[in-house]
Structure 1
Amino acid sequence: MDVMASAQAAALWVGLHLILLLVLSVLVVRQRRLHGVVFGDGDAPSLIQAIRAFGNATEYVPAGLIGLAVLAVAGAPPMVVHIVGVTLFLGRVAHAVGLSRSGEASMPRSVGVTLTWIAYLSAAVALVFYAIP
């Protein structure tokens, strides 16, 4: 397997996820400035939602990116890395959009968590597969 091509695929998804985290962080800062809140959430619903959208992404993205990186190092084909990467990314974007719009259950949040879990499960199965000689 071409480990370099797999590493490049992983680099793409790590980069895109970092951009997503940066965007979500900027949205939190924007809400903080809008509401004049330096620490905490000021009981402002839009700030609470922005904080949770960023927080939820920071809870799920790191483990997913570790999975992508290890897949690349383990020699998984670039297509496997891309499939897991795009699934995780779309899941995290959908979830962030849903959570940013409402603190209630929503279709984007449901789709987001489902795609995230599919990415996790796919990465886990692939990692176990590539770990067995």
Structure 2
Amino acid sequence: MMIVTPLYAGLLALWFLVLSIWVIQARSGPDGPSLGDGGREDVARRVRAHGNFAEYTALVLVLIGFAELAGSPGWLLHLMGLCLLIGRLLHGYALAFTTHFPLGRVVGMVLTFIALLLGAGFNVGSSISRLLQ
């Protein structure tokens, strides 16, 4: 029974909702562009934070889910999930709202890449191991 992946998927879905609302807020009102960023950096930052989240999160969650189904140890699943969650929180906030916190973006991407690498490594290793049996 999968219990780890749904936990992180749910928490990340809540963060995606927050990022989505931030984009909607930036685009609403008389000065907000209804499409794109209207050449406004504040809107572009929110749109990219939202898009970047979508670009990475789904694939890493799939990798975590496959690892969980393959019997990965719980500590590894939580390590991947926490790296992804903290990474996406840091990156999304830093990109959407700050120009003076580039460390948040960097640390966020590093944590996301760690989760991606661990997920890819476990899944490839597990698959090769089963093929060789």
Q: What TM-score does the superposition give when structure 2 sets the normalisation length?
A: 0.88
RMSD: 1.6
Give, in whole Å, the separation in 2 of the partners of 1:24 and 1:60: 14
Show structure 1 runs of 5+ residues with no match. Answer: none
Local SS of the residue matching 1:56: helix
What whole-Å deviation, never above 9, does each CA across 1:55-109 have from its counterpart, x for those lacking one?
Answer: 1101110110110111111111222211100101111111111101246771000
What whole-Å deviation, never above 9, does each CA across 1:100-125 have from its counterpart, x for those lacking one?
Answer: 12467710001011111111111112
Match of residue 50 from structure 1: 46
Match of residue 87 from structure 1: 83
More RCO (CA 8 Å, sep 6+):
1
* Number of positions where the alignment pairs a residue of Structure 1 with one of Structure 2: 128
1:9-88 equivalent positions in 2, closer than 5 A: 9-34=4-29, 35-88=31-84
Give, in whole Å, the separation in 2 of the partners of 1:124 and 1:104: 32
Give, in whole Å, the separation in 2 of the partners of 1:60 and 1:113: 10
Identical positions, percent = 32
Local SS of the residue matching 1:41: coil
Give, in whole Å, the separation in 2 of the partners of 1:27 and 1:101: 10
- Please say if residues 17 and 89 of structure 1, whose CA atoms lie closer than 8 Å, have aligned partners that are also in contact: yes
Runs of 4+ in 1 over 4 A off after TM superposition: none
Is 2:116 the partner of 1:123? no
What whole-Å deviation, never above 9, does each CA across 1:16-63 have from its counterpart, x for those lacking one?
Answer: 111111110010001111433211211121111100000110111011
